[in-house]
Amino acid sequence: MSIINIHKSNFQREVMNSDKPVLLDFWAPWCGPCRRVTPIIEEISNERSDIKVCKVNVDEEPELAGEFGIMSIPTLVTVKNGQVVGQTVGARPKNMILEMLQGGAENGTF
């Protein structure tokens, strides 16, 4: 499955109304840690058809970043049934991202 770039115009449809859990990657092209996470996010997107993987460029979509309270990037957010169920800040290894997707984080955050 390919990664979907999220903008205000497709946010509601692709994220909030998704019938699959969504992994949202808040990033920016100038962010070194974001560039390190990108191959992991792409790998997960290619391996997992049961989730939707989306990216939000915080420079292009500051309002969406603000709605999610994004203060640092990369920030990964999981959304299920229109609700935020997990969030982690900073570059994380694949296994931690997969745990977050499975709800392995206490209280939905790392």
CATH no. for residue 92?
3.40.30.10
Does residue 80 lie in a domain region? yes
**pLDDT for the residue 5:** 97
pLDDT in tens, 47-73: 999 999 999 999 999 999 999 999 999
What's the structural domain count of the chain? 1
Does residue 12 lie in a domain region? yes
Mean pLDDT throughout 35-51? 94
Q: At 1, is the pLDDT very low, low, confident or very high (cuts 50, 70, 90)?
A: low
d(CA 104, CA 108): 8
- Catalytic position from the list 31, 41, 76, 97: 31
Whether residue 37 contacts residue 55, with contact meaning beta carbons closer than 8 Å, is answered with no
**pLDDT for the residue 105:** 41
Whether residue 100 contacts residue 86, with contact meaning beta carbons closer than 8 Å, is answered with yes
Q: Based on the residue annotation, tell me whether 31 is a catalytic residue of this protein.
A: yes
Q: Based on the residue annotation, tell me whether 34 is a catalytic residue of this protein.
A: yes
Does residue 22 lie in a domain region? yes
Question: Which amino acid, residue 104?
Answer: G
Residue-range definition of the domain harbouring residue 97:
4-104
Does residue 110 lie in a domain region? no
Q: At 110, is the pLDDT very low, low, confident or very high (cuts 50, 70, 90)?
A: very low
Does residue 109 lie in a domain region? no
pTM of the prediction? 0.89
- Catalytic position from the list 24, 34, 91, 97: 34
Tokens (6 digits) for 2: 């390919």
pLDDT in tens, 7-21: 999 999 999 999 999
